[in-house]
C-alpha cells in the first residue's frame, strides 16, 4: 500500500509540472520541447513495460512509430480518411504487425530477439522509403491537420494539452497495470519464466500481449507526432530513433514508471541544452550516458529511490 501512495504522489507531481509548464515557458521553443518530451515519455512507458517489466527487448520500436505516423499522413491524403480514424488505424496496424510477428519472434531470446526486432524496424523503414508513390519516399510528406469536433487542432498549445493528458493517463494506466494480476504475471515471467509457467501463466501469450500493447502505444504517438509536426519522414522509423528510446528506458530506470518519464525528459532536453557546446554536443551526450551507466547502473529513478530508502532507515 505504501507503494500505491508513493505512486500517487509521483503522479501528482507530474500532473503539477504538466499543468504549470505552459504558463512558465518563456517562448514556443520550450513548449515544443515539452510536447516532444511528452510524446517520447508515452512511447518509453510502453517500451519499459516490455523491456523493464516483462524482460523482453525491442530494437525496432521506431518502426511502430513510423507506421502510426505514416497512417496519419497516407490515409487522409490518399484515401480521404478522417484523421481520427487514421490515427486509430495507425495504432491498430502497429499492434497487428506486432501480433503477427510476435509468435515467431518470442521463440527467440536474448540476442536473437534483439536482432529479430531490429530487422523488423529496418523493414518498416525500407518500405516507407521505397513506396514513394504513397509515402513520398525519403523526402516524406505533409500531414493534413487533425480535426476534433469540427475544430482544427493546429496550435502548439492545443497539442500540448492533448499530449499532457495522454501522458498522465498512460502513467496512471501503467501504474494500475503493474499492480494487477496481469502485471504480476508479466513481471513474474521476467523474474523466473519457469516459475511463472508452473503457476499457470501462459508466458507466450503474455509476451505477445505486452509487445502488442507497447507497439500500439508507439503507433499512437507516431500519429500524434505526425499531426503535431504536420510532416512525416521515414527518419521517424530509423534504427537510431529506436536506440534513443531504448536509452531513455535504461537511463531513466528499467521497470520504473517514473523512470520512463525522467529518462524521456532528460534525453529529449539534453541535446538542446548541449547545443551551445557547438560541435562537442555529441561527445558531451555520450559522456553523460557513460557516467549514468557507471554511477547509476539501475537507472536514475530506481538508484535514487534505493538511496533515499537506505537513508531513511
Partner 1 sequence: MSLLEVVSLSKEFGGLKAVQDVGFAVEAGVVHSVIGPNGAGKTTLFNLITGVYTPTQGEIRLDGVDVAGRRPDQLAALGVARTFQNLQICMNMDACENVMVGAHLRLDRNVIRAALRWPGLVRRDRELREEAEALMAFVGLGDHVHARADGLSYGILKRLEIARALAARPRILFLDEPAAGLNPRETIEVGELVRRIAADGVTVVLVEHDMKMVMSLSDRILVMDYGRKLVEGTPDEVRRHPDVVAAYLGKHA
Q: Does 202 bind partner 1 (CB under 8 A)?
A: yes
- What lies within 8 Å, CB to CB, of 231 at 6+ separation is 140, 141, 142, 143
Q: Does 50 bind partner 1 (CB under 8 A)?
A: no
Which stretch in 89-97, 128-136, 181-189, 273-281 sits in contact with partner 1 by CB under 8 A?
181-189
Q: Does 216 bind partner 1 (CB under 8 A)?
A: no
Binding mask 135-174 for partner 1 (x = CB under 8 A): --------------------------------------xx
- What lies within 8 Å, CB to CB, of 308 at 6+ separation is none
Which stretch in 88-96, 198-206, 227-235, 259-267 sits in contact with partner 1 by CB under 8 A?
198-206
Q: Does 42 bind partner 1 (CB under 8 A)?
A: no
List the one residue from 27, 110, 133, 198 that touches partner 1 (CB under 8 A).
198
CA 158 – CA 35 distance, rounded (Å): 10
Q: Does 71 bind partner 1 (CB under 8 A)?
A: no
Minimum separation from the CB atom of position 159 to partner 1 (A) = 24
Place of cell 496512471: 172
Q: Does 203 bind partner 1 (CB under 8 A)?
A: yes
Closest CA to 282 of 230, 244, 242, 245: 244
What stretches of the chain show up as alpha helix (H) in DSSP? 2-24, 28-48, 61-79, 83-105, 110-130, 132-135, 156-178, 181-191, 193-198, 203-229, 239-252, 257-274, 281-295, 300-312
Q: Does 12 bind partner 1 (CB under 8 A)?
A: no
List the one residue from 35, 196, 216, 266 that touches partner 1 (CB under 8 A).
196
Query: In terms of residues, how long is the chain?
Result: 313
Residue number, 104 or 181, with CB nearest to partner 1: 181
Q: Does 253 bind partner 1 (CB under 8 A)?
A: no
Minimum separation from the CB atom of position 302 to partner 1 (A) = 11
Q: Does 195 bind partner 1 (CB under 8 A)?
A: yes
Contact assessment for residue 192 and residue 63, using Cβ atoms and an 8 Å cutoff: no
Q: Does 176 bind partner 1 (CB under 8 A)?
A: yes
Q: Does 194 bind partner 1 (CB under 8 A)?
A: yes
Residue number, 46 or 83, with CB nearest to partner 1: 46
Residue number, 76 or 299, with CB nearest to partner 1: 299
List the one residue from 185, 218, 250, 296 that touches partner 1 (CB under 8 A).
185
- The dihedral over CA atoms of 102, 133, 126, 263, expressed in degrees to the nearest 10, equals -70
CA 194 – CA 179 distance, rounded (Å): 21
> Rounded to an integer, what is the distance from CA 307 to the centroid of its chain?
27
CA 91 – CA 68 distance, rounded (Å): 6
List the one residue from 61, 187, 227, 241 that touches partner 1 (CB under 8 A).
187
Distance from first CA to last CA of the chain, Å, rounded?
A: 18
Residue number, 138 or 191, with CB nearest to partner 1: 191
Q: Does 177 bind partner 1 (CB under 8 A)?
A: yes
B/e letters for 252-271, b = 16+ CB within 10 Å, e = fewer, are bbbbbbbbbbbbbbbbbebe
Minimum separation from the CB atom of position 56 to partner 1 (A) = 13
Closest CA to 226 of 149, 163, 268: 163
Binding interface with partner 1 (CB under 8 A)? 173-174, 176-177, 179-185, 187-188, 190-192, 194-203, 209, 213, 255
Amino acid at each position: 500500500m505504501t507503494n500505491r501512495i508513493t505512486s500517487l504522489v509521483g503522479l501528482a507531481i507530474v500532473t503539477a509540472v504538466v499543468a504549470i509548464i505552459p504558463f512558465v515557458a518563456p517562448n514556443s521553443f520550450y513548449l515544443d520541447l515539452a510536447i516532444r518530451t511528452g510524446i517520447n515519455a508515452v512511447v518509453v512507458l510502453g517500451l519499459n513495460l516490455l523491456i523493464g517489466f516483462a524482460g523482453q527487448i525491442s530494437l525496432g520500436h521506431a518502426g511502430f512509430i513510423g507506421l502510426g505516423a505514416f497512417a496519419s499522413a497516407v490515409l487522409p491524403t490518399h484515401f480521404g480518411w478522417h484523421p481520427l480514424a487514421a490515427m486509430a488505424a495507425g495504432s491498430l496496424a502497429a499492434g497487428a504487425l506486432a501480433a503477427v510477428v510476435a509468435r515467431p519472434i518470442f521463440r527467440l531470446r536474448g540476442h536473437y530477439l534483439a536482432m529479430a526486432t531490429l530487422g523488423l524496424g529496418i523493414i518498416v523503414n525500407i518500405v516507407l522509403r521505397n513506396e514513394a508513390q504513397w509515402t513520398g519516399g525519403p523526402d516524406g510528406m505533409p500531414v493534413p491537420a487533425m480535426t476534433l469536433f469540427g475544430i482544427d487542432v493546429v496550435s502548439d498549445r492545443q497539442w500540448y494539452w492533448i499530449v499532457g493528458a495522454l501522458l498522465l493517463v498512460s502513467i496512471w494506466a501503467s501504474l494500475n497495470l503493474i499492480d494487477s494480476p496481469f502485471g504480476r504475471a508479466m513481471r513474474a515471467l521476467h523474474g523466473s519464466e519457469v516459475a511463472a509457467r508452473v503457476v499457470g501463466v501462459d508466458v507466450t501469450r503474455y509476451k505477445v500481449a505486452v509487445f502488442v500493447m507497447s507497439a500500439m502505444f508507439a503507433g499512437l504517438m507516431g500519429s500524434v507526432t505526425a499531426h503535431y509536426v504536420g510532416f512525416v519522414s521515414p527518419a521517424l522509423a530509423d534504427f537510431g530513433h529506436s536506440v534513443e528510446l531504448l536509452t531513455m528506458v535504461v537511463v531513466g530506470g528499467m521497470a520504473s514508471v517514473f523512470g520512463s518519464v525522467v529518462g524521456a525528459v532528460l534525453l529529449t532536453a539534453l541535446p538542446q541544452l548541449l547545443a551551445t557546446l557547438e560541435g562537442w554536443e555529441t561527445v558531451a551526450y555520450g559522456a553523460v550516458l557513460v557516467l549514468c551507466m557507471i554511477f547509476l547502473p539501475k537507472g536514475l529513478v530506481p538508484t535514487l529511490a534505493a538511496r533515499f530508502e537506505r537513508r531513511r532507515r
